[in-house]
Amino acid sequence: MSNTSVAKKNPVGSFFSAVGNVFKDIGVIFVQGDWRTKISYLIMGFGQIMRGQFLRGGMYLSIEVLFIWFMTSFGSKYFSKLGTLGTIETYKKNRKTVYGDHSFLILLFGLLALFFIIFLLFCWYKNIKDNQKEELILKSGKKLPGSKADFLSLFDSNFDKTLLALPVTGVFAFTVLPIVFMICVAFTNYDATHQAPTKLFTWVGFENFKNMFSFGTGGFGRTFGGVLLWTLVWALLATFIDYFLGIAVAILINKKGIKFKKFWRTCLVMTIAVPQFVSLLYVSKLFDSAGIINGTLMKWGIIDSAIPFWTDPLLAKVTIVVVNIWIGIPYLMLMATGLLMNIPADLYESASIDGATPWQMFRHITMPYMLFVTGPYLLTSYTGNLNNFNVIYLLTGGAPKSMSYTGGAGATDLLVTWLYKMTINDTDYKMAAVIGIMVFIVTAVISLSVYRMLPSVKDEEGFQ
Amino acid sequence: MKKKLVSVLLAAAMSTSLLVGCGEEAAQTVQETAETVQETAQETTEAVQETAEAVQETAEEITDYGTGEIKIWVADAVVDFTNKQVADFIAANPQFAGYTVTVEAVGEGDAASNMITDVTAGADIYGFAQDQTARLVAAGALEEVAPENVDAIKSQNAAGAVVAATVGDTLYSYPMTADNGYFLYYDKSVVTDPSTLEGILEQCEAAGKNFYMDLTGWYQVAFFFGTGCTLTYDSDNDGNFTGCNVDYDSDKGLVALNEMIEVAGSKAFQPGSSAGDAVNYAAIIDGTWDASTVKDFLGDNYACAKLPTFTGSDGATYQMSGFNGCKLLGVKPQEDENKLAVCDALALYLTSKDVQLARYNEVGWGPSNLEAQADDAVKADEALSALSEQFAFTVPQGQYPGDYWTNAEALAGDVQNGLQGASEDDVKAALKDFQEKIAAAR
């Protein structure tokens, strides 16, 4: 009982008490258990097999065998070097190259081994608990389920485990391990001059984070601040300008008396039909200082010298936002068209009977409804725009560059495009990993805090 | 989106590294067993070497080079050519017949970055541009040239090409071409006198045509070196940079930067050095690789010249300078000494005088070999002769760290924006800042 009350008050405390319970269990079961249980502490699955549960016991045993095989043949060699990421340098023997430790593989397989160890400990604990459970069942005079019943339960009471086994393994191998790997890289000096397999890299603690927030010469602080600010402003502008203009266009086209509605919609939707990779590169050329827009204006004598659409920092930002409106409106228009038709007509009727003006109806009926329904969409769209790689990279590639920014960043770079350039052009993996972590923190903080404030989350039944 | 991107990238990195890991391990075990055999074989050859040269030749013929696979990366344009040359080479050297050689089309820029990203999966022999040398050496992707070939390569190739292939005092790669430089292409009907920059800009402006010049790291030295500034980096034999010699923050540097700002301020000016992307131009500063593109665009008005002179803010006249450099062929460090010997021989053959000349005839790459350069056909090439005229004013491109290129690109951005119409003090401050940054680059 005391446990549950602690859990409500203090999650950290409850975690430690849970850990304490685990150790207590391990000790108590060992003391109270019979000899089969005691041997199971060393040979996993022994107790189960002795009690006739061959499938279950065999599984535990095979996990242990697999683990021992993995560690002796492969894992321990990498795991033992995880602390240093390798010490043997590559050297030359006559003209032949003898490669030393491969820091990259040590980090990767070392982490894999670490996860395997954690998995084994978990299985070991389950194995002990299993033994205890079986002893209790036998003591109470009941019979244990046989191997066949165990197997069949995988399609019945344990069907969830069968279904989730593959997805969980996949998520671990392709999402969790890479993310943990990337986070670890942020704490190493893995960059162009520490390239595996020829050179070793090693742990440097918080050095890279210090560099990211240092404002001296060569420090990334000023650049990071500038890029982060533009990233946030961009996401705000890109999301909300598109949103309101999209709704406006939808209302406009829906209005009675507008002819050729389908034609207008088709025109707008055409931008979706052409892949962004094509249309954005084309638009980028269009606004180039020698592009068709500047060229035509100059030929007509309207301007004297080219408008620096992509080379002036402020104008480049404005141009990007404008181009993004052109791409973004059609999606919002389609969505808003559907939603607007869903607003109960009686709301408008009663409003007009009360003498409300169209603007009042828009402000007090249409907008609250739209915001309520599209709140989660706005949030995902905002976080999506924080990382809107395509638009920025294809339009400007982050340019114009300036000496006030370090690390190859430009005035229109988002954190992601900067990260990309750092990885691909400068092979500066350590700083790119730090930026990756920063992107995660920014995205997570914004989404979580905004999500809690959304009307559709706070008040689920607001518009029923 | 970002999570996806990163995880996809990492997954890709992981899976390649897994593959690499497996391949490497297998290779290692094979190699370890072969190692002892090899060593004894090598000791005998060494002993033979010491006795006499004539004997050594016969010993070499006897040496069993074993079998293996050699992967070559060259630019798309020369894949067929290289295949043909490799076939000739194997036919002429039956002792290497155990090796299968595959030639893949990987452009010079991609080759360098692919090699740096993953040395073990990279090609055994690959072509690259000289600005990548230091990076490749630092990443352990370049094997030193075999000591017995060093002197011959140094004496037979243009001095600039040798400098480009050298890091510290070690020769790391085989010069293949010496046409990596830039000069002026212009439209005869618009630009009547290509000798001064002011004249060219004026005539382009008057005709409403564009003048293309890139102001990033590789091209901006045309101004800085032109006024007499210097910029070199010291590096050790492992490709690490140890020092920087720069005097940009001076009166000479100021003249150069002012001129860059003035040029960028012209309404005819367009940043860029890729003729394929350029439009409506009457003059472009570009290299020989774009010769056919420019020729197609300008037609009968096609003309080439060395870079023009300019009148600086101090009233004096300066000749624009620049880098000269080359394409190189590199050999990856090998875990098998026999394979390395084959790779060395093949790389040497592919950069020999005859092959360089044949390459020029086939795809028009200007040779770095001095004898090949003296060939009549090479001398008659309009673009190449403009380039060689310009080479008299240029500086052989040594090794420059990545930070230099990054900062120079940033300066190019400022020249076109922030520094336009800036006061002299601001320009001086920018120059000082630039020098500090590139001096700290390693």
Looking at CA atoms only, how far is residue A62 from chain B in angstroms?
A: 24
Cβ–Cβ contact A214 with B under 8 A = no
DSSP codes joined into one string, B193-248:
-TTBHHHHHHHHHHHT-EEE---SHHHHHHHHTTTT--EEEEE-TTS-EEEEEE--
Report chain A residues whose CB lies below 8 A from the CB of B136.
none
Search chain A and give the residue with CA nearest B211: A290
pLDDT digits (tens, 9 = 90+) for A218-243: 788 999 999 999 999 999 999 999 99
**What whole-number distance in Å separates Cα of residue B353 and Cα of residue B355?**
6
Average pLDDT over every residue of A409-437: 91
Confidence of residue A386 (pLDDT cuts 50, 70, 90): very high
CB contact under 8 A, B208 and A192: no
User: B180, B188, B225: which is closest to B209 by C-alpha?
Assistant: B188
Average pLDDT over every residue of A277-293: 89
- Residue A202 burial (CB count, 10 A): 16
Average pLDDT over every residue of A439-449: 92
**What whole-number distance in Å separates Cα of residue A306 and Cα of residue A286?**
12
Report chain A residues whose CB lies below 8 A from the CB of B13.
178
CB contact under 8 A, A311 and B413: yes
Confidence check: pLDDT of B42 > 70: no
pLDDT score of B33: 47
Looking at CA atoms only, how far is residue A332 from chain B in angstroms?
A: 19
pLDDT score of A340: 86
Average pLDDT over every residue of B135-159: 89
Report chain A residues whose CB lies below 8 A from the CB of B340.
95-96
**What whole-number distance in Å separates Cα of residue B230 and Cα of residue B264?**
22
Search chain A and give the residue with CA nearest B429: A403
Average pLDDT over every residue of A294-306: 85
pLDDT score of B64: 78
Average pLDDT over every residue of A299-305: 84
pLDDT digits (tens, 9 = 90+) for B300-313: 999 999 999 999 98
Alpha helices in B52-71 (DSSP H): 53-62
Confidence check: pLDDT of B29 > 70: no
Confidence of residue B288 (pLDDT cuts 50, 70, 90): confident
Confidence check: pLDDT of B54 > 50: no
Average pLDDT over every residue of A300-322: 89
Report chain A residues whose CB lies below 8 A from the CB of B430.
403
Cβ–Cβ contact A334 with B under 8 A = no
Average pLDDT over every residue of A326-337: 90
pLDDT score of B17: 44
Confidence check: pLDDT of A335 > 80: yes
CB contact under 8 A, A195 and B9: no
pLDDT score of B39: 53
**What whole-number distance in Å separates Cα of residue B280 and Cα of residue B349?**
43
pLDDT score of A463: 62
pLDDT digits (tens, 9 = 90+) for A102-132: 999 999 999 999 999 999 999 999 999 999 9
Contacts of B59 (CB under 8 A, 6+ apart): B44, B45, B48, B49
Looking at CA atoms only, how far is residue A270 from chain B in angstroms?
A: 24
**What whole-number distance in Å separates Cα of residue B291 and Cα of residue B295?**
6
Confidence check: pLDDT of B434 > 70: yes
Confidence of residue B10 (pLDDT cuts 50, 70, 90): very low
- Helix or strand or coil: residue A461? coil
CB contact under 8 A, A174 and B11: yes
Report chain B residues whose CB lies below 8 A from the CB of A431.
none
Cβ–Cβ contact A286 with B under 8 A = no
Instruction: List the single residue in B7, B144, B271 with the smallest CB-CB distance to A174.
Output: B7
- Choosing among A97, A294, A382, which should be mutated to test the B contact, i.e. which has the most B CBs within 10 A? A97
Query: What's the whole-number average pLDDT of chain A?
Result: 88
Confidence check: pLDDT of B11 > 70: no
**Number of Cβ pairs < 8 A linking chain A and chain B:** 152
- Residue B380 burial (CB count, 10 A): 9
Confidence check: pLDDT of B60 > 60: no
User: A338, A319, A443, A437: which is closest to A381 by C-alpha?
Assistant: A443
pLDDT digits (tens, 9 = 90+) for B167-206: 888 999 999 988 888 999 999 999 998 999 999 999 999 9
Q: Are strands B210-212 and B269-270 parallel, antiparallel or unpaired?
A: parallel
Looking at CA atoms only, how far is residue B362 from chain A in angstroms?
A: 32
Instruction: List the single residue in A104, A197, A217 with the smallest CB-CB distance to B436.
Output: A217
Residue appearing with tokens 């000496």: A403
pLDDT score of B241: 86
Report chain B residues whose CB lies below 8 A from the CB of A197.
24, 119-120, 140
How many CA atoms lie less than 13 Å away from B408 in the CB half-sphere?
22
Instruction: List the single residue in B17, B412, B440 with the smallest CB-CB distance to A108.
Output: B17
Confidence of residue B43 (pLDDT cuts 50, 70, 90): low
What are the tokens at B53?
Answer: 């040269």
Residue appearing with tokens 């403009």: B386
User: A226, A229, A210: which is closest to B410 by C-alpha?
Assistant: A226
CB contact under 8 A, B267 and A304: yes
Confidence of residue A3 (pLDDT cuts 50, 70, 90): very low
Cβ(A207)–Cβ(A394) under 8 Å? no
Is the C-alpha dihedral spanning A306, A308, A311, A316 positive or negative? Answer: negative
Cβ(A290)–Cβ(B279) under 8 Å? yes
Confidence check: pLDDT of A142 > 60: yes
- Helix or strand or coil: residue A290? coil
pLDDT digits (tens, 9 = 90+) for B320-374: 999 888 889 999 999 888 899 999 999 999 999 999 999 988 888 888 898 888 8
**What whole-number distance in Å separates Cα of residue A308 and Cα of residue A412?**
14
Average pLDDT over every residue of A194-213: 90
Search chain B and give the residue with CA nearest A307: B267
Average pLDDT over every residue of A19-32: 90
Write out residues 27-66 of A within 8 Å (CB-CB) of B.
Answer: none
Instruction: List the single residue in A109, A175, A400 with the smallest CB-CB distance to B7.
Output: A175
Query: What's the whole-number average pLDDT of chain B?
Result: 83
**What whole-number distance in Å separates Cα of residue B422 and Cα of residue B435?**
18
Confidence of residue A464 (pLDDT cuts 50, 70, 90): low
pLDDT score of A9: 62
pLDDT digits (tens, 9 = 90+) for B231-285: 999 888 777 888 899 999 999 999 999 999 999 998 889 888 888 888 889 999 9
Confidence of residue B3 (pLDDT cuts 50, 70, 90): very low
Question: What's the longest Cα–Cα distance across chain B?
Answer: 75
Contacts of A42 (CB under 8 A, 6+ apart): none
Report chain A residues whose CB lies below 8 A from the CB of B211.
none
Looking at CA atoms only, how far is residue B417 from chain A in angstroms?
A: 6
Q: Which amino acid is at A55?
A: L
Confidence check: pLDDT of B47 > 90: no
